[in-house]
Homo-oligomer: A and B are copies of this chain.
Amino acid sequence: VLGEFDLIDRLRERIAAAGASRNDLLILGSGDDAAVTVPGGATATSVDAIVDGVHFRRSTHKPADIGAKAMATAVSDLAAMGAEPGEAYVQLGLPEDIELAELEGIADGLGEAAAEEGITVAGGDVVGSPVLFLALTVVGHAEAPEALVTRGGAEPGDLIVITGPVGGAAAGLLLLDRPELARGLDEPIAQGLRRRQLRPRALPAAGRALAEAGARAMIDVSDGLEADAGHIARASRVRIEIDLGADRIQAGVAEVASAAGEDALDLAAGGEDYELLAAIPAGQADVALEALRETGCDPALVGRVADGEGVVLRGPTGRESSGSGFDQVRSRAPRGPT
C-alpha cells in the first residue's frame, strides 16, 4: 500500500487531471501547511460531509459518483448564496480495506465535478478511519457581502421561484434500491431519476443570476422542499406558501411513487434535488425567470411570501400526466436554522 504522502500526491494528480479549472486567486496549493489565496471582496465558506452508509453506500455507489456527489452538494451551498465558486478543500477518511482503484475513482469524481462546477481543489488531507467519509470545505467569492443572498431577507409580497422540477433524487433512490419499480418507465426517464440521485449538479450560475436579479432570500432544496422553505420562513420571519404544480415534479416521479405506494408529494419534498428556491420581489420575477433560463434552468414561480410564520406546501390536484391525482395540504411549524 502507498504511504500517506504518496497517496496524497497520487490523489492530487488524479484530481488535477480530471478538473481543468484554474483559480487566479490561488497562490499556493496543497503541499504546504495551508493553501494561500488573495480573495479580495467577500468570501462565503461552507462545509459539508458525506459518510458511507449514511449519505451513500460503497456497495451501490460507484467511487466516481461518491466523489462527484460530495463536490456538487458542497458547491450547491455556494450557489445558494449567489457566490462564485472559488476553492475546495477535501478531507478523506479512509478505511484500511479501501483499494487504490476505488480511491482513484473517488478522486476522479471529485475532479470531474470540480471542473463542472468551476471550483479548484486547493488542498486536502487524508486520515485513517473505520468508515469512508468525505468532508468538504468550499469557498466562494463575491465583490461585497451585500452581493450575497442569505436566508433572512424574504419580505411579504415577494414571489417564490424554483430553478427546476423536484422529486427526482428521492425517486432515483427508490429506483436504485428497487430496480423493479422502473418497469413501467421509459428508460431515459428512469435514467434521469437515477442520475439526479447519483450525480447531482449544483447551480452556481443560476444562484448568481438570482442574486443579480435581486433575490432577497435563497436556499438549495437539499433537506427537502418543506424543510428548506422553513429555513427561509424562520430566518426571514415570514410565512411561505408553495403550490407545486405537476410541471414542477420531475418526469417519472409520479409513476415511481405510484409503483412504490408512496406519496408523490413526499418524493417531491424529499430533498437532495439541489434546485434553488428563492424569494424575489414581484416586480423582478420576470427578469429573474429570464436570467435563469439563460443559465439553462427550467424555472417557475411556485409560491409567495406572506405575513406570518411556517410553510404551507400544496401538491398538484389530479391534473398531472401520471394520473395519480395527489392533492394535499401540509403545514408545519418553523424549525431552527442550520
Contact = CB atoms under 8 A, between A and B. Distances in A.
Interface of A: 3-6, 8-9, 27-28, 30-51, 53-55, 77-78, 80-81, 83, 87, 89-91, 93, 122-125, 127-131, 133, 135, 137, 139-140, 144-145, 148, 150-152, 218-220, 235, 335-338
Given A45-B122, A81-B33, A93 B51 contact: yes
Contacts of A135: 47, 49, 91, 93, 133, 135
B33 A220 contact: yes
Contacts of A6: 336
Contacts of A48: 91, 125
Contacts of A148: 34, 36
Contacts of A8: 336-338
Contacts of A78: 33-34
B139 A31 contact: no
B45 A145 contact: no
Given A3-B336, A32-B337, A47-B123, 16 more contacts: A9-B337, A28-B145, A31-B337, A31-B338, A33-B151, A34-B148, A35-B44, A36-B148, A43-B43, A45-B89, A45-B122, A45-B123, A47-B124, A48-B125, A51-B93, A133-B133
A93 B235 contact: no
18 contacts: A9-B337, A27-B42, A31-B235, A32-B81, A32-B152, A32-B235, A33-B77, A33-B150, A33-B219, A35-B44, A35-B45, A36-B148, A39-B43, A45-B123, A48-B125, A51-B127, A55-B127, A129-B131
Given A5-B335, A93-B133, A45 B235 contact: no
Query: Which 10 interchain pairs have the tightest Cβ spacing?
Result: A135-B135, A5-B336, A34-B44, A34-B46, A31-B337, A137-B137, A33-B77, A33-B80, A51-B129, A54-B128
Contact of A81 (B34, B124, B337): B34
A270 B93 CA distance: 22
Given A55-B127, A127-B54, A135-B49, A36 B27 contact: no
User: How many copies of this chain does one complex carry?
Assistant: 2
A137 B122 CA distance: 13
Nearest to A137: B137
B36 A38 contact: no
A44 B220 CA distance: 28
A80 B34 CA distance: 9
B31 A89 contact: no
B49 A38 contact: no
A337 B44 contact: no
Given A33-B77, A81-B32, A145-B27, A43 B38 contact: yes
A4 B224 CA distance: 14
Given A31-B338, A338-B8, A49 B127 contact: yes
A83 B33 CA distance: 11
B137 A89 contact: yes
A31 B27 CA distance: 30
